[in-house]
Amino acid sequence: MKKYLIIMIIASLFACQTKSDKEKAAEKLKVSMYYLHQKKGCKTCKEIAKISKSIADKVFQKEIKEGTFAFYDLDINQSVNDSMAKRFECKWAGLYILSFANGKEVVEDLTDVAFMYALDKPDTLTQIIKSSITKNL
């Protein structure tokens, strides 16, 4: 009976130490890209959305599957996305790269760059975004 009790106590200690799937996924995640926008976007906003989604889908597909990279396209008109809009202080549209280094979150705001290059130099914007993500993976 004592052996059984000891085994149960030890088993319960190990059970308490297991991490949830969400916690495990968060530990793997190194970089996230957030594109925040209004439902009705201008021509430039739509191009930024197209470029950022294309980069995520085509360039970082492997990292998405591995769980080291995530892409979020968020309509800030939806109340479910209010917290992210406030977090980034985004009122209209924004492009942000979040990385995690030494237990700290680092935010790189690419909004100005995205609006500068999206229509006239999309290849330049693509390279800037890819570089920002790659350096943090």
Which segments within 1-137 are labelled E, that is strand? 31-37, 69-75, 94-101, 104-109
| Coil vs helix vs strand at 104 | strand
Residue 33: partners with Cβ closer than 8 Å, 6 or more residues away: 52, 55, 56, 69, 70, 71, 72, 95, 96, 97, 98, 129, 133
Q: pLDDT tens for residues 31-57? A: 999 999 999 889 999 999 999 999 999
Residue 9: partners with Cβ closer than 8 Å, 6 or more residues away: none
* Predicted local confidence at residue 81, as pLDDT: 93
Sheet with 94-101, edge to edge strand ranges: 69-75, 31-37, 94-101, 104-109
Domain 30-134, what architecture? 3-Layer(aba) Sandwich (3.40)
Indicate the pLDDT class of residue 10, thresholds 50, 70 and 90: low
Rounded average pLDDT over 51-70: 97
Average pLDDT over the chain reads 86
CA gyration radius for the chain?
A: 20
- Check pLDDT > 50 for residue 77: yes
Is residue 117 packed enough to be buried (19+ CB in 10 Å), middle (13-18) or exposed (0-12)? Answer: buried
For β-strands 94-101 and 104-109, DSSP reports them as antiparallel
Q: pLDDT tens for residues 87-112? A: 999 999 999 999 987 888 999 999 99
